Chain A
Amino acid sequence: MSFLSDIKDYPWTSLLAGILPSRIAARLPERFQAPSSQIVPPASVAGRALTVVIAIMTFLACLTAGGVYMVHQSASAWVDDIASEITIELNPLNTADVEKKMTLVALFLAKQPGVTRVTPMSADDSAKLLEPWLGSTAALSALPVPRLIAVEIDRSNPPDMKVIESALNQNFEGVTLDDHRRWQSEIKTITRSTALGGIVVLGLVAAATVAVIISATRSAMATNRGIIEVLHFVGANDRFISSEFERHFLGLGVRAGLAGALAAAVTFLLLPFLLHLLGGGAVTEAETRRLLGTGELDIWGYLLLVVIVVVVAALCTITSRLGVFRVLKSYA
């Protein structure tokens, strides 16, 4: 509740002045200036170095959370996509007329219950799929590239894969069915691993932020020891003293959090271009795009960055409060 009262009491109109460089902030209208009569001087609590550290922490947290979100979205879309599709692979070796066999297999599949669409892929289309790994399509024409037939299935009434596979094996030689289950399982494993890694990174960033704030709180209290004594002498209780420090750390968290999240948002906006610039070649770029999708964050992804700013501000405020109370207890 007192965190909420801190939010209510915070001089939000002065937030802009806190973010901008002091020379520019000094030119803002008076109502946007920080109150001059703050009992604990802001500069003695949150110096520029501390603000930069928290901003970097927020930036890293936002990049991690945004990246994990992107991977999750991309993987979900991919799993959704491949779950409604199976692929038939036709080995061109030992097949006299591949095109005829492709047509026959496609016709056979189109008759199966639960199959909604059959799309035989041309030799060029199949070769293009390998292009990122093996180079230009012209060089692939000499290779026995397997031919593929994409089969869309009705997810509400899926066909019996075992029956189709068995029928294909009986009627056509060199034809295999891939229902993508292995891929789905691998994608889910990768998504889970990425999410777990992201949580670990977020945990480390949060722990580092807490450690920095604890250290900064102790330092701020040591710097302002004289002010704390005077506050005690004029009858201030620990809650009052704590709120004077908390307010600064709340402002620090919001300022630094916004700066870090803004930098992360700009990074995400530029990510599609960065993927191309830093792709490191066609294969790496293709793999990265498979992992991250288009590299664009949707509205929910950007909202996630806002949530991180709120969490950072809360972390700064609550940690500083606990730190102040601990130090005040040691004074008593």
Chain B
Amino acid sequence: MIRFDNVGLRYGSGPEILRDVTFHVHPGSFHFLTGPSGAGKTSLLRLLFMSLRPSRGLIFVFGENLADLPPAGRAALRRRIGIVFQDFRLLDHMTTWENVALPLRVMGQTESDYADDVTDLLHWVGLGNRIHAYPETLSGGEKQRAAIARAVIGRPELLLADEPTGNVDPAIGNRLLRLFVELNRLGTSVIIATHDYALMDQLEAPRLMLHEGQLQVGASQIGVR
């Protein structure tokens, strides 16, 4: 599904943020991407999500070499990936429902086709009573759940989440983790970038550990080569 071969990344002429990163993610797997602050977790996620180009090495996403992919092809691949940002990135002028429906709208689906799905998903993530609320009126946890709902509404094959529990209290963090596990059980591959060890200890999942720009594979190596 995802393959990194000796990937390096530097910003401009600065030092390499990521060095010789090589790993392979299989369909249906669940991984934590961890490491201290500034280790390059967000940069690695941005490479996975094609919002950055590697300085060297090869990245294959769903079998496509990103180096050979035109912008239109990149957009098509992104539709197969859901992403949850640490800062949510909800559009403030749109309601929760409209934010969650955005990926389906982008795919060209008509509102009558997806209206029930969006409403059902919002109920499933516990935002049934916040459908018409605007993001600025939502709490941190509600925003996080809305961002997750937006990431999964298009039934992505891969879900990337950047510090999804960073802005919520432990109880909501646990609830969100259960949500990710449930999605994984339904067939979505999940990569969660976090430095919350308490969160990682709750789940038996392989850890991709970044340290000084290099990737090490953690003790639990299910699905990682």
Contacts and interface: CB of A to CB of B under 8 A. Distances in A.
Contacts of A41: 93
Contacts of B85: 233
B102 A234 contact: yes
Contacts of B91: 39, 227, 230
Contacts of A226: 89
B150 interface: yes
B154 A233 contact: no
Contacts of B63: none
A234 B78 contact: yes
Contacts of A234: 78-79, 102-103, 106, 150, 154
Q: Which DSSP category, helix, strand, loop or mixed, fits chain B's interface?
A: mixed
A232 B102 contact: no
A232 B75 contact: yes
Residue among A229, A232, A332 with the highest chain B CB neighbour number at 10 A: A232
B51 interface: yes
B15 interface: no
A234 B89 CA distance: 11
A240 interface: yes
A11 B75 CA distance: 27
B71 interface: yes
A236 B71 contact: no
Nearest to B49: A233
Please tell me the size bucket of the interface on B.
20 to 34
B106 A231 contact: yes
Contacts of B81: 235
B203 to A, nearest CB: 26
A235 B106 contact: yes
B83 interface: yes
Nearest to B160: A233
Contact of B94 (A37, A233, A236, A332): A37
B72 interface: yes
B113 to A, nearest CB: 16
A39 B103 CA distance: 12
B112 to A, nearest CB: 14
A209 B223 CA distance: 58
A177 B102 CA distance: 81
Interface in A205-263: 226-227, 229-238, 240
B198 interface: no
A232 B154 CA distance: 14
A236 B89 contact: no
Contacts of A229: 51, 89
Nearest to A329: B71
B163 interface: no
B39 to A, nearest CB: 22
Nearest to B108: A240
A121 to B, nearest CB: 75
Contacts of A37: 94-95, 98
A107 to B, nearest CB: 85
B76 interface: yes
Given A39-B94, A39-B102, A230-B102, A235 B107 contact: yes
Contacts of B51: 229, 232-233
B89 A240 contact: no
Contact of B154 (A39, A227, A235, A240): A235
A332 B150 CA distance: 24
Interface string B48-92: 010100000000000000000001100110110101010001010
Given A37-B98, A39-B94, A230-B102, A235 B79 contact: yes
Given A234-B78, A234-B150, A235-B103, 12 more contacts: A37-B94, A39-B94, A39-B105, A230-B91, A233-B78, A234-B106, A235-B79, A237-B71, A237-B72, A237-B76, A238-B71, A238-B72
Interface of B: 49, 51, 71-72, 75-76, 78-79, 81, 83, 85, 89, 91, 93-95, 98, 102-103, 105-107, 150, 154
10 contacts: A37-B94, A39-B105, A230-B102, A232-B51, A233-B85, A233-B89, A234-B79, A234-B102, A236-B75, A237-B71
